[in-house]
Amino acid sequence: MKQKQLEATIRGALLQLLAEQGISLPVLAAFQPTKQGRVDDGIYFFPVGRGKRGWQSRNYQDDGAALTATESQINESMYQFQAFVEDDLTAPEQLLASDVLSVVRGVLQSMKFTQAMTAAGIGVQRATDIVTPAFVNDRDNFDFNPNFTVIFTHHRNITQATAHIQQVAPGIHRI
């Protein structure tokens, strides 16, 4: 599975399940080349690491003209999720970024989300705790960036064709 397909699948399932929780913030890929400056309210996610687990498995298929080998590897894609919500001091019922992110984390670990991901060939590992580092924003005010990471597992396949061997001639050769 390629990165764009993985991210589109995650985003689609997340949007649907967040709507069920009454959260209508956009879910966006962070750090896009067209966006600079202050970020809009929303839930952002982006890859922070790639890894692999186990050994490559091989499956051979003889199609007559050649031997086709398909090698499969389980890959881990670590994503960081973060939320930005402008604090409205006149709205005491407003969900702040950390509240939104708690719901996102819960949805990512929910049975409906993991079932949707499993059906798409994606595994969901346990999400980390939410951390909330502080920073000074573009308005020179303190702000917070609540975030957590979660690992998604998926298969990557490569296929290679190898010609059949016509003849093997054993022999001892001097070196």
Specify the pLDDT at position 121. Answer: 95
| Cα–Cα dist 142/164, whole Å | 67
Specify the pLDDT at position 80. Answer: 97
Specify the pLDDT at position 88. Answer: 83
Low-confidence residues of the chain: pLDDT under 70: 33-39
* Pair of tokens at residue 120: 């798409």
Specify the pLDDT at position 138. Answer: 77
pTM greater than the 0.85 cutoff: no
The order of strands in the sheet holding 42-62 is 27-29, 42-62, 66-84, 147-163, 123-124
**Looking at the domain 3-53+75-151, which fold is it?**
Alpha-Beta Plaits (3.30.70)
Domains of the chain by residue range: 3-53+75-151
What are the pLDDT digits (tens) for 30-61? Answer: 877 666 556 688 999 999 999 877 778 889 89
Cα Dmax for the chain: 89
